[in-house]
Amino acid sequence: MLKRFLKEPLVHFLALALAIFAGYALAGTGEKREIIIVTAPKIEQMATLFTKTWQRPPSVDELKGLIDDHVKEEVLVRQALALGLDEDDAVVRRRLRQKMEFLDTADAEALEPTDAELATYLVSNADAFKIEGMLAFEQVFLNPQRRGDRAEQDAGSILQALLSDPDADRSLLGDATLLPPQLALSDSVSITQTFGTDFAKALDRAPLGQWIGPVVSSFGLHLVRVTERVPDRTPSLGEVRGAVAREWRNARRKELEDQRFAELLKGYTVIIDSLAGKGADR
């Protein structure tokens, strides 16, 4: 629809009228003038943006307004550059830097790594993609507020009972709590969020299948038995292909950026003033 609109006779007439007007203006003076060319793709880009914004194509007058505004912007930008208004402007400098860095990003995004490259990257950066181990455990809770000074002693007595009969009815040994008597496979982060750092570390060190304690948490005292442990592991490429490909591209972007900057830097002599006022060459 948009391309059909741009091919309408009125649009052609407008473009022709603008060209005639520009030619007449140029012919009316002997001064050397800069040339501003508003290309057909640029006009189509402006019309497309207008259409997406307003959900309809621009009218002839609206399209002329878009072109006029673009010409105005181009004239003012060129004049500002000629006056050196871009110099020492932090915003302009930052934007220009971002555009240069975007070139490296675009090149890196266009790269398609092979499976061999991704596999090598995964091996070289295994820790970044490591799947954290998990464990499951059972617990008997002792409430310090209820037991008071006897809490530690009671914990020791209950632990001995559990060691003598590991499968004893735990509901008869501990105190009532909303905490689950057993927790399915969970990672260290989840356990830490619920029970605290010291509790999670104690479980990491606990032997499999043996009651230990008392282990202190943010709730009170616990006698715990780790019933299952799944160790940390490096995933296969198939499990984390997307993440590996993303990080591989980030690494390649950084590599390309460093290489190009090193080449650009060769064309400059950098002098850095010291605090004492003496310059140092780089």
Q: Do 222 and 260 belong together in one domain?
A: no
More confident residue, 274 or 189: 189
- Calpha distance 79→75 (Å, rounded): 6
Q: Of 31, 58, 87, which one is at a domain's C-terminal end? A: 87
End-to-end CA distance of the chain: 58
Q: How would residue 15 be classed by pLDDT, with cut points 50, 70 and 90?
A: low
* 10 band by pLDDT with thresholds 50, 70 and 90: very low
179-187 mean pLDDT: 88
Domain boundary among 192, 214, 230: 230
- Burial label for 274, CB within 10 Å (0-12, 13-18, 19+), is exposed
**In terms of domains, do 222 and 138 share one?**
yes
**pLDDT, mean of residues 84-108:** 79
Query: Are 80 and 204 found together in one domain?
Result: no
User: pLDDT class for 13, splitting at 50, 70, 90?
Assistant: very low
The reply to whether 97 falls in a domain is: no
The answer to whether residues 114 and 248 belong to one domain is yes
Residue 117 belongs to a domain? yes
Domain that holds residue 196: 132-230
pLDDT at 137 over 90: yes
Q: How confident is the model at residue 11 (pLDDT cuts 50, 70, 90)?
A: low
Asked if residue 101 belongs to a domain, the reply is no
112 and 150 co-located in one domain: no
What tokens appear for 167 in the block?
């499968």
Is 171 part of any domain?
yes
In a domain, 98, yes or no: no
Q: Check residues 11 and 228 and name the one with the higher pLDDT.
A: 228
Q: How many domains does the chain have?
A: 3
pTM of the entire structure? Answer: 0.50
Residues 16 and 62 in one domain: yes
Asked whether the predicted pLDDT for residue 39 surpasses 60, the reply is: yes
